[in-house]
Amino acid sequence: MRHEDIWRAIDTLAAEHGLSPSGLARRAGLDPTSFNISKRRSAEGKSRWPSTESLAKVFLATGAGMEDFTALVMGARAMPEARPKGRNRIPLIGMAQAGAEGFFDDGGYPAGAGWDEVELPSTADANAYALSIAGDSMEPVYRAGDSIIVSPAAPVRVGDRVVARAMDGAVMAKLLSRRTASRIELTSLNPAYPDLRFAVQEIMWMHRIVWASQ
């Protein structure tokens, strides 16, 4: 069992209840920053575990049981594998805007008032958002004018297409090709662009792409 699996399960549980991690902490009677990205590592960069007391309060606030939480820790998907059905208005910004300050909180959830809206297939994730593609850096998978739906709740595995934000503010759509306890490797969708390698602490958040309009 890895630290990131526990934290991912907390993020997924929050999203399934239409909450951000800070919203889940508040509902559980905890300090709103309890589950922030900055609290998941020590000042020396070592991974931290959430406290058992915090988990107990989360279970009480959400009605989740240990079996439910364990399933999320083990990688149960919060998103259906099939294309989502129905329509919904989802917050939208351009991919080029995504690296600017004010559009995401530190967990990678949509924040602020600068978002547009677009009608796209609905998802099971109340915190899902859409990005509009510009330029050729993601061809041939995604082309200029495509919209992608990104789900903070969906568990991320090697081989998934993801949107990741680095600590320097850069936001990128890549394929997660390798992840260890210390390193993350991202393969460029367009072979003309370089693949990237990061220390785990250099990636602020990483969410799975679950749908694209093409």
pLDDT tens digits, residue range 21-31?
A: 888 898 999 99
In this prediction, residue 82 carries a pLDDT of: 38
In the predicted structure, residue 69 carries a pLDDT above the cut 80: yes
In this prediction, residue 198 carries a pLDDT of: 96
In this prediction, residue 157 carries a pLDDT of: 86
C-alpha torsion sign, points 151, 152, 155, 156: positive
Q: Which CATH number covers residue 144?
A: 2.10.109.10
Q: Which CATH number covers residue 28?
A: 1.10.260.40
In the predicted structure, residue 202 carries a pLDDT above the cut 80: yes
Do 179 and 125 lie in a common domain?
A: yes
Give the domain-ending residue among 46, 73, 100.
73
Do 148 and 121 lie in a common domain?
A: yes
In the predicted structure, residue 145 carries a pLDDT above the cut 80: yes
Do 21 and 118 lie in a common domain?
A: no
Do 117 and 189 lie in a common domain?
A: yes
How many domains, in total, are found in the chain?
A: 2
Distance between CA atoms of residues 14 and 16, nearest Å = 5
Domain enclosing residue 31, as ranges:
3-73
Average confidence (pLDDT) over 174-193: 91
Q: SS3 of 22, please?
A: helix
Residue 85 lies in a domain: no
Provide the H-helix boundaries in the chain.
3-16, 21-27, 52-62, 66-73
Residue 82 lies in a domain: no
Give the domain-ending residue among 13, 45, 73.
73
In the predicted structure, residue 78 carries a pLDDT above the cut 70: no
Average confidence (pLDDT) over 51-71: 87
In this prediction, residue 84 carries a pLDDT of: 46
Do 107 and 193 lie in a common domain?
A: yes
Mean pLDDT, the chain, whole residue set:
83
- Higher per-residue pLDDT: 173 or 124: 173
Report residue 100 as tokens. Answer: 């600017």
